[in-house]
Amino acid sequence: MVTRTTVAALATCAALLAATGCSSSFGDAKEPEQDKSGKQELTVLIATSGDAETQAVKAAAAAYAKESGNAVTVSVAKDMNQQLAQAFAGHKPPDVFYVNSDQFANYAKGGSLYPYGDRIPDASDFSEQLRTSFTYDGKLVCLPKDTSTLGLAVNSDLWKKAGLTAKDYPKSWQELRNVADKLTGGGVTGLVTSDEYQRLGVFMKQAGGWLTSTDQKKMTAATPENAEGLAFVQSMLTSGSMKYAKQVDTSWGGEALGKGKAAMTIEGNWLDGGMKLDYPDVKYDVVPLPAGPAGRSTLAFSTCWGVAAESAHRAASVDLVTYLSSADQQLAFADAFGVMPSRTSALTTYAERQPRAKAWVEGSAYAQGPVTIAGFDKVLSQFNTDLQSLRTADPKKILADLQRNGEQAIAKGN
């Protein structure tokens, strides 16, 4: 799941990058000599959501090894960003590894990633939004391994207890406010979510705003639309019908929903796996997020399969990534640990197999992708810190600070 902890880790990695110089361009170094042997030994580094993901990736790697003749060793990172930074600095990176969209531009700008997108003949099967998230200097650098969007998850029993039916699922901000008010009381908060832009930013987008221009060359944070989005969140926080997860003694929205402390939460499709594991008896439904003044919107998240620029096994690594990102393998991953496929063709099949995921899948058509500017992870870390005090702070001041910090990052990152 995408949390404030993730952003903090990204900020730590950015500091390591600066300190170690591992993001210095490899263009000045000698081109790594490529291994041309018939059988090669590949290393893969992943950040895992749990045993199910770890075993699924290892099983897929083993199947590829049997088919190709190449050996593949999959390792699980304890701190993905820190380990990658150190590996790049020491010029001994894994051949293939997960790259989060928030950190992608830092690695791409530094020359750490081998851009292999032009070697994938059916890359158009990945949506334009996903391809854009992993494009740098006009090149598709790496393939998105999966995708996630946000939806509104509703505790079915609490919903019925309040006298509400499916007809009452909120389709607008006002309706969201109304049902949240009705659901709040007796130890239950109507809406509980995380205090970070990865959730609250959706209200900015629904109001017609966003952090940057479409081409990410201009900051658009300090706008009336963004202020309207945050002001709406602030009004619900002030009324008590909305709270941050930590305010109800939980670590994220899924825990609040599972423990009956939240009647609704805003979360992505990773919620399904978390609920099955920790709260298998809790009934819930997932519906599209209500529309704002500018219409419907949700946020999209993804991770790509990175190939190291310094790898001596580039061709074999791309061959492995092609295998791991095939439609069949993505569907196998979806069955194993709940991720949504990033291939459009596979996503259609996934939606047919997973009716509960309908809202998340449909959200892919109108989702806002992440900001991918080198150094922007530090900007987002500060923005998330500021959002923690949104209930009593001035939204315009928060956005003005975001505007200023973002302009500095853009100036350095482009």
Distances (CA, A) of 308 to 94, 136, 316: 7, 15, 12
Give the torsion sign (CA, 224, 226, 228, 231). negative
Q: Which residues pair with 167 in a beta bridge?
A: none
DSSP symbols for 90-134: TT---SEEEEEHHHHHHHHHHT-B---GGG-TTGGGB-HHHHHHT
Q: Nearest to residue 103, comparing CAs of 405, 373, 309, 384?
A: 373
**What SS3 state is found at 147?**
strand
pTM to 2 decimal places: 0.86
Distances (CA, A) of 253 to 4, 66, 153, 388: 13, 41, 9, 15
pLDDT score of 13? 44
pLDDT score of 174? 98
Average pLDDT across each block of 10 residues of the chain; the chain has 414 residues. List them in order.
43 40 45 89 93 94 97 96 94 96 92 97 94 94 96 98 97 98 98 97 98 95 98 98 98 96 95 89 97 97 96 97 97 90 94 91 93 92 97 98 96 74
pLDDT score of 414? 58
Which residues are CB-contacts of 153 (< 8 A; sequence separation ≥ 6)? 253, 254, 257, 264, 265, 266, 267, 271, 284, 285, 286
Kindly report the number of other CB atoms within 10 A of residue 203's CB atom: 25
